Amino acid sequence: MASSKTSKSLASPLLLEKIDKLREKGINQHVPLTQLVAVGDQSSGKSSLLETMTGLPLERDVELCTRFATQITSRRGPESRVTVTIIPGPDASDEHKKCLDSFKFESLTIENFRDQLPKIFKQANAAMGIRTDTTSTNGKTFSKDVLKIEKCGPDEDYLTVIDVPGIFRNTTAGITTPEDIELVRDMVKHYIKDSRTIILAVLAGNVHIDNQEILTLASQYDTTGERTLGVLTKPDLVPEASEKQKICDLVMGKKKPLTLGYYVVKNRGPNETEANYKFDRTLDLPPYDSLPYDRIGPNSLRTRLRELSEQLTRREFPMIRKQVKAEQEATQKKLDGLGQSRKDDREQRIYLSAIARKFQDTVETALDGRYSDEAGFEKNTMRLITHIVNLSDDFHDDFSRFSQLHEFEVTGDATPATNPGDSQEETTTQDVCYEAVKAVLEDIDLDSYPELDGIVSMDGSPECPDGDTMEWIHAMYMESRNMDLGTFGSNVFAMAFKKQSTKWGEMTRSYLSKAILIVHRFIADALEMTCPDTRVKELVWSEIVDKILDRYKAAMDQAMLLVHIEREKRPYTLNKDFSERLQLAQGGRTAALMKAAGANKVSSFGLQNEIAMTPGMIKAASANQSNVERINQEIHDKLHAYYDLALCRFVDNVFQQSVDYCLLTGPSTPLAVFDQDWVINLDAEQLEGIAGETIVTKARRRSLTRKLQDLTEAMRILR
């Protein structure tokens, strides 16, 4: 049992020293630390009490000693010496901290300390930025910096007490203001509010306790009175016996009880010698002589405070370590949330290059359709290639069914190449593509992309072709015929094709517009996914959007060029299918004529699959047809054969050149604007403007970095 007590007594000073080191590092602004705080009215005798307890002469000039908190530490050491430094306040700048570092008084004897005390306080005021000239209005009246006075010696026991400026109610001209009254009160509240603080409430015995607000203030934060210890000073100045008895009643717990109780201490006077103080018999006289011995005098109080400090620190130490660790991890997480540091050109370029690389990786994944490879592709807008394929299939189907101005006739038994009555399976596939494209486009709010005005055009669905094809061809031929014997000129055919392909430009522009919208929304969403910093994302976007728009225009121009080539040039093809399609159409017409002329089908092996014709029948069928009618049919059949081939060629070219090459995979697509080469080509000013951190972010990073360093050092101390 004795061994356990010895172990605790040895460990306690070590723990107390660790707590003091944490306080010097400013950890108390992040995690509450155990502490003894002396508070009281300005005339409560608080400074005299601390001087009596510590043996340190303390400044009692009301104009100098109450401008800041003072941490007084006693600890055992081989040599007797006093060291004075300043602990920076929680809001101290690096410049101010550097100034405070230069303030230091070391290896002072008690006599030296006493002699230099006015100088120490005056220099401390100057270092903290407190005005010392009572006639000046420059500087502040109070400071959050803490003056630390450390007393070492072979007979000292570890104890730290923080002396907070005394509460006052009346201002001093040229020294304090009404605002200072509240400032000091707020400072007292700040120091006593935490549950790890023992409140040393100093009360002047010669002033009625109800007229001293410190107990009322303490009760606001220590509602049960479990961590408030009352100290009654100036018992020798209490004249009446009844007032002395009231002090005794407080100590005995008969009035305003506190769990930690009350102590009575007669302070050493400013001119009182050590010998005279020791032989003072104030507390040996009635009624004080009836009080328990361990409740009177500075030694009893010092012993009790040391016990309380050790008990509190032992109890709270594991939780303090746990909270410091949690705060360290939370700070690291916040710092990580800011991303990598971007304070110079190199860091900014690395940062932006990483985003550009990730963006291009996202583009590659979207074009390859490997949506399961990366997070974020569960979002429908990110499935770029799928939407483009569905859109292009829908474009092909619409173009096949609706692009001709007039519906082509079905000649004889010929199978129409562009028959809208497709098979049930093909129709179902077309409907699925149409619904998929419709759903995607309905999700796009064109008003969200005003920059696309003048580039995209979202026209309605194309109308179905007219049915009066032969009438249209006849009218056109009659208005354009030339002196051609039994045939028609190439100009007639060119006019017919141009007229029949009237809707090509509008439908192609609509297709490209939809493709551009899909790509544009993908770029915006991919940039948001790969760039976590909203400000950087917006700045990158503002820098690249003009070049992206230029590439959209290039894709649209390429599509319009293809439209121009198909519709304005002389119709021609090297495709051998043209002759086959034309012959098939002409054969179908001949068969239809024969059938109309009364040709009979001949049975072969029980199947009627051949038509029996005679030269006379062919002659009779042909004789019933005028030359103009025959030419009209010839124009129709040639136009139909050529149109089908031109349509397939055109749709492929638009997709391959305008969409795939210009918008998706070519070297100059809008998807390739934001890449690492773009980052490399930024000059220093552009780089700083885009990737440089804001003043707020820089300040926050500095603050978090400094805090993390302090907390890391705190964890090292707490080991």
pLDDT tens figures, 425-459? 555 556 666 677 777 777 777 788 899 999 998 77
State the pLDDT at residue 416: 47
Model confidence at 3, pLDDT cuts 50, 70, 90, reads very low
Residue 197 Cα distances to 32, 189, 253, 585, angstroms: 9, 11, 22, 102
Residue 489 or residue 406, greater confidence: 406
Mean pLDDT, range 67-90, rounded to an integer = 92
5 falls in which pLDDT band (50, 70, 90)? Answer: very low
Q: CA 365, CA 649: separation in Å to the nearest integer?
A: 29
CA nearest neighbour of 104 among 129, 79, 87, 80: 87
Residue 417 has pLDDT above 70, yes or no: no
Q: Please tell me the predicted confidence (pLDDT) of residue 380.
A: 85
Confidence at residue 10, expressed as pLDDT on a 0 to 100 scale: 43
Residue 481: what pLDDT? 67
The band of 500, judged by pLDDT with boundaries at 50, 70 and 90, is confident
| Coil, strand or helix at 164 | coil
Among the ranges given (168-177, 343-352, 506-515), the one the predictor scored with the smallest mean pLDDT? 168-177
At residue 676, the pLDDT reads: 96
Average pLDDT, stretch 519-548? Answer: 94
**Does the pLDDT at position 598 exceed 80?**
no
For residue 647, CA distances in Å to 644, 654, 656 come to 5, 10, 14
**The pLDDT of residue 638:** 84
| pLDDT at residue 497, rounded to an integer | 84
The number of helix segments (H) and strand segments (E) in the chain equals 22, 11
Lowest mean pLDDT among 257-261, 414-418, 682-686: 414-418
Average pLDDT over residues 187-208: 94
At 318-338, the pLDDT tens digits run 999 999 999 999 999 999 988
pLDDT in tens, 271-314: 665 655 665 677 888 999 999 999 999 999 999 999 999 999 99
Q: If pLDDT is split at 50, 70 and 90, which confidence band does 513 have? A: very high
Mean pLDDT of 201-222: 91
Confidence of residue 553 (pLDDT cuts 50, 70, 90): very high
Architecture per CATH, domain 11-333+713-718, reads as 3-Layer(aba) Sandwich (3.40)
Span of 20-24, 491-495, 645-649 with lowest mean pLDDT: 491-495
Q: In the predicted model, what is the mean pLDDT of residues 117-143?
A: 81
Where is average pLDDT lowest: 5-19, 84-98, 603-617?
603-617
Domain chopping of the chain, boundaries: 11-333+713-718, 345-692
Contacts of 244 (CB under 8 A, 6+ apart): 235, 238, 287, 288
Is 552 strand, coil or helix? helix
Residue with the larger pLDDT of the pair 632 and 692:
692
pLDDT confidence bin for 418, thresholds 50/70/90: very low
Structure confidence at residue 154 (pLDDT) = 92
Q: Yes or no: say if 134 and 175 are a contact pair by the CB < 8 Å rule.
A: yes
pLDDT above 60 for 535: yes
Average pLDDT over the chain reads 84
What band does 204 get if pLDDT is binned at 50, 70 and 90? very high
User: Pairing state of beta strands 146-153 and 81-87?
Assistant: antiparallel
Indicate yes or no: pTM above 0.85. no
Q: Could you write out the three-class secondary structure of 179-207?
A: HHHHHHHHHHHHHHCCCCEEEEEEEECCC
